[in-house]
């Protein structure tokens, strides 16, 4: 048995995982490349709401290329990894792109909070935004430096496959540093991720409260419009109505020989309800005209609510997907650093499941273009134009505003 056969045996049961990684790579590169082209070339560059989208798409594209390629190399070459430098470089850039994406989402959450809840504090200038994006990447690059020392090429042997009583020797990319130091580093990453998630949650909670209060204001205004005061009947009028009703009943009863006593008591509630509801035509014309004007003024505001806050909802959705996709990776990294020798000594099916969860973070970078397409009408219009080349009615760059 040679090294190629040993490598094939270890990689064959990961075919399904490789197909998923291949889809991540193709869809991620194509989708984020399309986002970069449309937002940088086809759309206005003056939009404050869309500024961070190309930066996030660039990070997502890099994460898909590096993360998927690195994972495929580990799956296809489990004991034939091509070199120590390549292993360290792939680990470093994979970690950098992942941390950059999460940190940029934190920056976006703070920006959305200031824009929606504190609009008078001050708008970020273009220079500030550029410095924030560069600072995000710089922070991620610094935080990823320890991976250069913790990971590298590892020598592995197999007593099962031997040639002339000599064990086969292979090389894989994995942890080769101190177990205690790696555990400390993973704990730091876990705290960093949880802290970021807490800050993001607080920002979007305040944003949600602000949006909810404005929605309730719209609904209350609509209720006030629909409740129009109706003219009331005076006490004397009601008394006259009752007196006339009694006289009619008495006259009828006299004819029947009942000496003027009615057979049943007068149904006051029925009389009152009938006379207390005047027809619509009795409403003053100026009240009806004012009511219709207010309704017409408020209904469009309710209909445009989602359009107005679409970017806040969009980045909320992206953040939720990121948290769901990234947490399994952090948890597995912690467990791996605790049980260094035994964590991956499991059945083939268990390893396939763990690797899928471990690399689920790449899915976050893949689905973001689909989220942009769902929330941004202008982006969806441009995609349709590029695919079908139809001369649809152009959308003005500044007509699709939102918070």
Q: Name residue, tokens 């029925």.
A: 270
Does residue 287 have a pLDDT over 70?
no
Confidence of residue 107 (pLDDT cuts 50, 70, 90): very high
- Long-range CB pairs of 132-137 (<8 Å, 24+ gap) are 132/107, 133/52, 133/55, 133/104, 133/107, 136/100, 136/103, 136/104, 136/107, 137/59, 137/96, 137/100
pLDDT at 117: 84
Rounded to the nearest integer, the mean pLDDT of the chain is 78
Residues 293, 296, 302, 304: is their CA dihedral positive or negative?
Answer: negative
Does residue 308 have a pLDDT over 60?
yes
Question: Which of 43-52, 88-97, 131-140, 149-158 is predicted with the least confidence, judged by mean pLDDT?
Answer: 43-52
User: What share of the chain has pLDDT > 70, as a percent?
Assistant: 70
pLDDT at 132: 94
pLDDT at 176: 81
Residues 6+ apart with CB under 8 A from 365: 28, 32, 59, 60, 61, 63, 64, 67, 97, 101
Please give the angle made by the CA atoms of 129, 131 and 132, to the nearest 5 degrees: 65
Q: What is the pLDDT of residues 184-213, one digit of tens each?
A: 998 999 999 999 999 999 999 998 888 878
- Long-range CB pairs of 111-119 (<8 Å, 24+ gap) are 111/52, 112/203, 112/204, 112/207, 112/311, 112/312, 112/315, 112/403, 113/203, 113/204, 113/206, 113/207, 115/48, 115/403, 116/207, 116/210, 116/211, 116/309, 116/312, 116/403, 117/206, 117/207, 117/210
Does residue 275 have a pLDDT over 60?
no
Does residue 43 have a pLDDT over 50?
yes
The alpha-helical segments, DSSP class H, found in 230-376 are: 235-255, 268-275, 285-303, 305-308, 310-338, 348-358, 361-375
Token pair belonging to 151 = 């990971």
Token pair belonging to 335 = 């467990």
User: How far are the Cα atoms of 6, 370, 385, 386 from residue 390, in angstroms, in the given order?
Assistant: 54, 21, 5, 8
Does residue 297 have a pLDDT over 70?
no
Confidence of residue 89 (pLDDT cuts 50, 70, 90): very high
Q: CB atoms < 10 A from the CB of 399, how many?
A: 9
Mean pLDDT over 51-61 rounds to: 93
Distance between CA 350 and CA 264 in Å, rounded?
A: 83
Mean pLDDT over 301-319 rounds to: 73
More confident site: 101 or 386: 101
In total, the chain counts a number of residues equal to: 403
DSSP string for 137-172 = HHHHHHHTTHHHHHEEEEEEEEEEEEETTEEEEEEE
Does residue 232 have a pLDDT over 50?
no
Confidence of residue 288 (pLDDT cuts 50, 70, 90): low
Q: Are strands 151-163 and 166-175 parallel, antiparallel or unpaired?
A: antiparallel
Does residue 281 have a pLDDT over 60?
no
Confidence of residue 55 (pLDDT cuts 50, 70, 90): very high
pLDDT at 387: 80
Does residue 95 have a pLDDT over 50?
yes
Q: What is the pLDDT of residues 116-151, one digit of tens each?
A: 888 777 678 889 999 999 999 999 999 999 999 999
Mean pLDDT over 236-255 rounds to: 49
pLDDT at 120: 76
Question: Which of 187-201, 232-246, 332-346 is predicted with the least confidence, judged by mean pLDDT?
Answer: 232-246
More confident site: 317 or 44: 317
Q: What is the pLDDT of residues 350-368, one digit of tens each?
A: 888 999 999 999 999 999 9
pLDDT at 237: 45
Confidence of residue 258 (pLDDT cuts 50, 70, 90): very low
């Amino acid at each position: 048995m040679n090294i190629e056969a040993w490598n094939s045996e270890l990689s064959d049961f990961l075919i399904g995982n490789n197909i998923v990684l291949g889809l991540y790579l193709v869809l991620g590169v194509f989708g984020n490349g399309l986002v970069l082209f449309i937002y940088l070339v086809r759309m206005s560059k003056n939009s404050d709401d869309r500024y961070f989208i190309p930066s996030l798409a660039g990070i997502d594209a890099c994460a898909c290329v590096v993360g998927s390629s690195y994972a495929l190399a580990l799956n296809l070459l489990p004991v034939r990894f091509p070199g120590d430098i390549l292993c360290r470089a792939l680990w470093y850039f994979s970690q950098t792109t992942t941390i950059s994406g999460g940190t940029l989402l934190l920056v976006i959450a703070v920006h959305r909070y200031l824009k929606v809840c504190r609009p008078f504090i001050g708008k970020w200038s273009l220079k500030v935004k550029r410095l924030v994006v560069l600072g995000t990447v710089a922070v991620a690059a610094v935080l990823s430096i320890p991976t250069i020392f913790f990971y590298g090429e590892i020598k592995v042997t197999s007593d099962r496959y031997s040639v002339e009583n000599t064990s086969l020797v292979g090389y894989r990319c994995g942890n080769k540093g101190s177990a205690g130091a790696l555990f400390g580093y993973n704990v730091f990453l876990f705290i960093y991720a949880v802290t970021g998630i807490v800050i993001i949650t607080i920002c979007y909670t305040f944003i949600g409260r602000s949006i909810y209060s404005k929605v309730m204001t719209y609904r209350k205004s609509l209720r006030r419009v629909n409740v129009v005061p109706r003219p009331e009947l005076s006490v004397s009028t009601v008394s006259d109505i009752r007196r006339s009703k009694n006289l009619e009943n008495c006259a009828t009863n006299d004819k029947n020989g009942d000496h003027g006593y009615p057979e049943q008591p007068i149904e006051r509630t029925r009389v009152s309800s009938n006379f207390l509801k005047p027809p619509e035509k009795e409403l003053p014309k100026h009240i009806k005209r004012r009511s219709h004007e207010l309704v017409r003024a408020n209904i469009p505001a309710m209909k445009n609510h989602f359009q107005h806050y679409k970017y806040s909802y969009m980045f909320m959705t992206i953040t939720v997907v990121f948290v769901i996709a990234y947490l399994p990776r952090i948890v597995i990294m912690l467990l791996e650093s605790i049980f260094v020798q035994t964590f991956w000594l499991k059945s083939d099916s268990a390893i396939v499941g763990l690797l899928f969860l471990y690399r689920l973070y790449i899915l976050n970078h893949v689905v973001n273009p689909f989220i942009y397409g769902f929330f941004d009408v202008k982006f969806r219009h441009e995609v349709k134009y590029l695919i079908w080349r139809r001369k649809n009615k152009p959308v003005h760059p500044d007509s699709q505003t939102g918070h």
